[in-house]
């Protein structure tokens, strides 16, 4: 049985994951409209994965005798002034998600809920990968700068992040 404190913390993380899915979805739509197939495919895949992260938390809370709350979705506000701005926003968001996961892990230890602590280790590992992927992408964007040819090649390169199982999960 989940304590009230753990249930509230999990519901907070459910909201974070749902918001993440919406942010990636908004980025995917923007990239698709701009004609960047690789970037949009990557972002759509990430949006789906964030939703799966949310669902995993929903099912866990419910199976442990808690009650998952399904949050209202946010309307993402993106800085689409440049690819660097967009991917900087994405990286900063992933860092925030990592902080949120770490706080949830901390709460699980304070509550001596070792089953939840064990369950959350998947999220800890996942966030290491998510941050690394976002940082790698941002590094590539910084190398490209405003070069149109570089953006074309980068977009093609992004297809490998979304299609073959590499990149963030």
Domains, the chain, ordered by start? 4-68+81-162 (1.20.1260.10)
Residue pair 138/110 in contact by the 8 Å Cβ criterion: no
Taking alpha carbons only, the member of 138, 19, 33 closest to residue 75 is 19
- Tens-place pLDDT, residues 9-68: 999 999 999 999 999 999 999 999 999 999 999 999 999 999 999 999 999 999 999 999
The average pLDDT across 142-153 equals 85
Give Dmax over CA atoms of the chain in angstroms: 56
Lowest pLDDT segment from 17-21, 47-51, 83-87, 142-146: 142-146
Q: Tell me, what's the pLDDT at 163? A: 55
To the question of whether residue 13 is assigned a binding role by annotation, the answer is no
Residue pair 35/122 in contact by the 8 Å Cβ criterion: no
List the structure tokens of 120: 């959350």
Q: Between 147 and 9, name the one with better pLDDT.
A: 9
To the question of whether residue 32 is assigned a binding role by annotation, the answer is no
Burial of residue 91 (CB within 10 Å: 0-12, 13-18, 19+) is buried
To the question of whether residue 127 is assigned a binding role by annotation, the answer is yes
| Predicted confidence band of residue 160 (pLDDT cuts 50, 70, 90) | confident
pTM of the model: 0.91
Q: Tell me, what's the pLDDT at 166? A: 39
- Tens-place pLDDT, residues 91-127: 999 999 999 999 999 999 999 999 999 999 999 999 9
| Packing angle of the helix pair 37-63, 148-163 (nearest 10 deg) | 40
C-alpha span between 137 and 24 (Å, rounded): 14
List the structure tokens of 25: 């979805």
DSSP one-letter code for 145: T
Q: Tell me, what's the pLDDT at 167? A: 39
To the question of whether residue 117 is assigned a binding role by annotation, the answer is no
To the question of whether residue 126 is assigned a binding role by annotation, the answer is no
């Amino acid at each position: 049985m989940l304590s009230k404190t753990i249930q509230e913390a999990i519901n907070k993380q459910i909201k974070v994951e749902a918001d993440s899915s919406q942010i990636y979805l908004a980025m995917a739509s923007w990239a698709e409209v701009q004609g960047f197939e690789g970037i949009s495919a990557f972002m759509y895949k990430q949006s789906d994965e964030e939703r799966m992260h949310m669902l995993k938390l929903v099912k866990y809370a419910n199976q442990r005798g808690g009650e998952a709350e399904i949050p209202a979705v946010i309307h993402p506000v993106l800085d689409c002034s440049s690819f660097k701005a967009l991917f900087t926003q994405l990286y900063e968001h992933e860092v925030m998600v990592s902080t949120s996961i770490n706080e949830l892990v901390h709460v699980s230890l304070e509550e001596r809920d070792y089953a939840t602590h064990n369950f959350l280790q998947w999220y800890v590992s996942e966030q290491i990968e998510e941050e690394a992927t976002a940082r790698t992408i941002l590094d590539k964007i910084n190398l490209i700068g405003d070069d149109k040819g570089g953006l074309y090649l980068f977009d093609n390169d992004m297809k490998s992040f979304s299609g073959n199982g590499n990149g963030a999960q």
